[in-house]
């Protein structure tokens, strides 16, 4: 956006020698915005998908000894809990193997 404005100003409103400086300033601002945006994007972690569920708690629906079902965000998932868990208990999601959640007691 800054580059577009600089080009319009440089061509239409600013006299010849100064128009190059205006356009060059627009290029510098545009590059700065891109670098800032990339740095900001690298800090954000995914908030959707299976990877975002790691660390969340889930409620056991079908007994896990060692395989059962849990409910996470309203969805039923197959889960494996080596310690065992009864329906109604809350477990924490440690990792995901395929479509099976590996959970531990919370």
Residues 56 and 84 in one domain: yes
102's tokens: 């590996």
Residues 57 and 10 in one domain: no
Please report the DSSP string for 32-72 in residue order.
HHHHHHHHHHHHPPP-SSGGGGTT-EEEEEE-BSSEEEEEE
Residues 39 and 58 in one domain: no
Do the beta carbons of residue 81 and residue 66 sit within 8 Å?
A: yes
**Interval 53-104: pLDDT, tens:** 899 999 999 999 899 999 998 999 999 999 999 999 999 999 999 999 999 9
Q: Indicate the number of domains in the chain.
A: 2
Domain that holds residue 22: 2-43
Residues 100 and 73 in one domain: yes
Residues 57 and 97 in one domain: yes
Distance between CA atoms of 78 and 86, rounded to whole angstroms? 14
pTM of model > 0.85: no
**Interval 72-86: pLDDT, tens:** 989 999 999 999 999
Residues 98 and 64 in one domain: yes
Residues 59 and 101 in one domain: yes
């Amino acid at each position: 956006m800054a580059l577009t404005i600089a080009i319009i100003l440089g061509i239409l409103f600013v006299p010849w020698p100064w128009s190059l400086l205006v356009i060059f300033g627009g290029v510098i601002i545009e590059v700065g915005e891109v670098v800032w945006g990339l740095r900001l994007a690298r800090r954000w972690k995914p908030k959707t998908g299976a990877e975002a569920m790691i660390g969340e708690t889930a409620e056991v629906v079908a007994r896990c000894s060692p395989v059962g079902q849990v409910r996470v965000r309203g969805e039923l998932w197959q889960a494996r809990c080596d310690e065992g868990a009864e329906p109604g208990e809350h477990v924490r999601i440690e990792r995901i193997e395929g479509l099976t959640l590996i959970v531990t007691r919370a």
